[in-house]
A and B are shown apart, each in its own frame.
Chain A
Amino acid sequence: MTAKLLEVRGLKTYFFTRAGVVKAVDGVDFALARGKVLGLVGESGSGKTVTGFSILGLIDPPGRIVEGSIKLNGQELVNLAPAALRALRGRKIAMVFQDPAMTLNPVLSIGTQMAMAVRAHAGLSKRAALARARDALGRVGIPSPEERLAAFPHQFSGGMRQRVAIAIALLHDPELIVADEPTTALDVSIQGQILFEMRRLTRELGLSLIWITHDLAVVSGLADDMCVMYAGRIVERGPASRVLAQPLHPYTRGLLQSVPGMVAPGGELAQIPGSTPSLLRLPPGCAFRARCDRASAACAAMPDLSPRTTEHDVRCHHPVGLDERTEALA
């Protein structure tokens, strides 16, 4: 096994709220090789965003990482001193957020915000920082970047704002970018452009990308590997092409069957019955079993995330299409 850029082991991030402990991320493991794209897929509340923020050490109270390990190039990030963590953020790991309308400060010019981000890690003069910011804007395809530095966020369209955010993320040539649904808030035509831009940049710069999304179509076009999350845990993990072609977990299959583009034309769109369970009072055992048509008494015990085929893991007692083999093994 080659050295991984990022290794997440047994990550648990809990929120200690008034109503009780919300186990937003409850034991997540994955690894990411240099230059690869990982799709982190799940519904709202599945813990995918909290996983992303945990990697950057940006969990605010009442939440905190209670257990687990996050290693970047072998360096442990959990419980790292705040100053050391800050020095990594923006330089080694960068983040792109969901809504570009909210991520840029409305009352500071783009140039001011970008110069601050440059100078956070590089001892440059204001002028040199602005020059670097201008180049970064050019790199993500913003026309006449020199003039745009003086502009304020509201003077950009949504897609352009997201390009600015990506330019900021790329300022220090990070090794890893965590992108939290960066296309969800954009128009469909713009989504394609941003997606294309990200793919181009990751290939050109050789950086690794974690793409958090609920949109399987995006993953299929972009990701090398993918993890499907449900109720704070990974339920299926493997190469994106294989997971999408032959989903093993009933939940992944349900997701795939509910996406129009993934079903053959004229085929029937399915929906997953019920809704995401409350993370406050998760019953023991498989969290999906109340919505699962394959559930049995065995599902009252939490299944392990275990390999079923090469590099393709699933957390299920009754994986799709492998029932016979499972029974044979038993």
Chain B
Amino acid sequence: MSAIGRDALAVPTRERRPLAAFWIEFAENKVALAALAVVVVFVLAALFAPLIAPQDPYDLGKLSLLDARRTPGAVASGGYVHILGTDAAGRDLFSAILYGLRISIQIGLLAGACALALGATFGIVAAYRGGRLEAFIMRLVDLQLSFPPILLALVLVALLGQGRGQLVAALTAAQYAYFARTAHGAASAERRKDYIEAALATPLPGWRIVFKHLLPNCLPPLIVVATVQVAYSIALEATLSFLGLGLPITEPSLGMLIANGFQYMMSGRYWISLYPGVALMVLIVAINLVGDQVRDQLNPRLKR
């Protein structure tokens, strides 16, 4: 629509508060709205898992091997219905999934936040300072971007050992580069504008420019990257756990539940792997759908 768009559609729209306008536009996409609802439900379920779950899956004393591998809907020694069945250790699968979600979401958010902070700092500092520092940082970032995050995380986890801290560190190191690249792109585009050059010529402190001009301009693209990367962190954590390289066996995340069920799949006990996998898939797809809509809304080139 370019040639025409510039001309005919340059009409002022009604003045609205930007956040409210953003929400109204978001709500017009029913799929994205449903996805957002799913994300909220999952986060709440994870948050209140101890209240909802019929069983504490970490309390080994309450588990009985007699209850192992019950089909969905079966009633075992606990006297209640295992709506999703039980796993090989006799855990109620529904409870295990709720607790697994808790771990997955926690790790995903934590790794996403750390990568965002680290990457945004790198990117903005590089754009602001320029020169050799910029060249060095961005060269490093480019190098890392060409390296698949899953391999980096794999190697780091193998070197650092198992544990939450190590896992978050590995995921952060594997993902910060995406944020750095995005922040650098947005910040250096803004940095080149005349008003920043003018502001730099005044004795104003540099942090004012960084926080008042560069950072706000980087935020929209960073938010988009963040939603995608949180989903990716969750997937990556599940993958590492599935490969037996994620969290210790005492904290079964979704990936580990799936891995544990894998060996029973061949004998037709599909539910042990299937339901944790469905939970994982729905969560990741929902986050991505929300992220997609936000990205489309923030992309000025697709505006109409």
Contact = CB atoms under 8 A, between A and B. Distances in A.
A18 B13 CA distance: 11
A219 interface: no
B11 A278 contact: yes
B9 A15 contact: yes
B8 A45 contact: yes
Contact of A15 (B2, B8, B12, B13): B8
Contacts of B11: 19, 22, 45, 278-280
Contact of A60 (B4, B6, B7, B12): B4
B1 interface: yes
Interface in B157-213: none
A63 B4 contact: yes
B4 A18 contact: no
Interface stretch (A47-55, A149-157, A242-250, A298-306): A47-55
B304 A24 contact: no
A98 interface: yes
A278 B12 contact: yes
Interface string A25-62: 00000000000000000001101111001000001101
B19 interface: no
A15 B4 CA distance: 10
B3 interface: yes
Contacts of B14: 19
Nearest to A50: B8
Given A60-B1, A278-B12, A18 B7 contact: no
Given A17-B304, A18-B304, A19-B13, A180 B3 contact: yes
A49 B8 CA distance: 8
Q: Is the interface of B mostly helix, strand, loop or mixed?
A: loop
Contacts of A102: 2
B304 A50 contact: no
Contacts of A278: 11-12
Interface string B8-22: 111111100000000
Could you say which interface size class chain A belongs to?
20 to 34
Nearest to B25: A18
A97 interface: yes
Interface string B130-168: 000000000000000000000000000000000000000
Interface residues of B, number: 14
A50 to B, nearest CB: 5
A282 to B, nearest CB: 10
A278 B304 CA distance: 15
Nearest to B28: A18
Given A17-B304, A18-B304, A279 B3 contact: no
Contacts of B12: 278
B6 A62 contact: no
Contact of A53 (B3, B9, B13, B304): B3
Given A17-B304, A18-B304, A62-B304, A49 B4 contact: yes
Contacts, number: 51
B85 to A, nearest CB: 47
A315 to B, nearest CB: 20
Contacts of B304: 17-18, 62
Interface string A89-104: 0000000011000100
Contacts of A53: 3-4
Nearest to B6: A44
B4 A59 contact: yes
A63 B3 CA distance: 13
Contacts of B10: 44-45
B304 to A, nearest CB: 6
A61 to B, nearest CB: 9
Interface string A196-239: 00000000000000000000000000000000000000000000
A44 B233 CA distance: 47
Nearest to A103: B3
A284 to B, nearest CB: 18
Contacts of B2: 102
Contact of A98 (B3, B8, B9): B3
Nearest to B14: A19
A60 B3 CA distance: 11
B261 to A, nearest CB: 46
A247 to B, nearest CB: 23
Contacts of A22: 8-9, 11
Nearest to B8: A24
Nearest to B1: A60
Contacts of B8: 15, 22, 24, 45, 47, 49-50, 63, 279
A22 B13 CA distance: 12
Contacts of A50: 4, 7-8
A166 B13 CA distance: 37
Contacts of A280: 11, 13
9 tightest A-B CB contacts, nearest first: A24-B8, A49-B7, A278-B11, A50-B8, A280-B11, A279-B11, A19-B13, A44-B7, A278-B12
Given A45-B10, A63-B1, 8 more contacts: A17-B9, A18-B304, A19-B11, A19-B13, A22-B9, A45-B8, A60-B4, A280-B11
22 contacts: A15-B9, A17-B304, A19-B13, A19-B14, A22-B8, A22-B9, A24-B4, A24-B7, A24-B8, A44-B6, A44-B7, A44-B10, A45-B11, A50-B4, A50-B8, A53-B3, A97-B3, A180-B3, A278-B11, A279-B11, A280-B11, A280-B13
Interface of B: 1-4, 6-14, 304
Interface of A: 15, 17-19, 22, 24, 44-45, 47-50, 53, 59-60, 62-63, 97-98, 102, 180, 278-280
